[in-house]
Amino acid sequence: ETGVTQTPRHLVMGMTNKKSLKCEQHLGHNAMYWYKQSAKKPLELMFVYSLEERVENNSVPSRFSPECPNSSHLFLHLHTLQPEDSALYLCASSQDFAAGRTDTQYFGPGTRLTVL
């Protein structure tokens, strides 16, 4: 349960605020992901970082800005969000493209974001 951690667990922000979500993995993985989980919608992939380089962003609005300073840390910077951005934001990590590749993604507990 502590392999992937996320902070904060809950966040309430106004539409003009700037905030950041943090994810840290202690599993020695080389790939990290951001997903958005809204009510009545499937988990949506937002960003993929493999070996600290972004490989996919799925046309996510520019008000979401990811940062991956090293293989253990992943951030999601938030700016000028809309109420419809309120959701659970989940981070995940996996070990990809190496000997013993499993593809298994381990999720963090998520940050429950509310945009007022």
Phi, psi torsion values for 75, nearest 5 degrees = -120, 155
CA–CA distance, 100 with 65 (Å, rounded to integer): 31
With residue 111 as reference, give the H or E element that holds it.
strand 111-115
Assess contact for 48 and 66: CB atoms under 8 A. Answer: no
Q: Which is nearer to another protein, 24 or 44 (CB)?
A: 44
Residue 42 makes contact with another protein by CB under 8 A = yes
CA–CA distance, 95 with 116 (Å, rounded to integer): 37
Q: Out of 10, 41, 69, 84, which residue is the one contacting another protein (CB under 8 A)?
A: 41
Single out the segment in contact with another protein by CB under 8 A; choices: 14-22, 36-44, 62-70, 76-84: 36-44
**Per-residue x/- mask for another protein, residues 79 to 98, rule CB under 8 A?**
-----------x-----xx-
Minimum Å distance from CB 1 to another protein? 8
Q: How many residues does the chain have?
A: 116
Residues that bind another protein (CB under 8 A): 31, 33, 35, 41-45, 48, 50, 55-56, 90, 96-97, 103-110
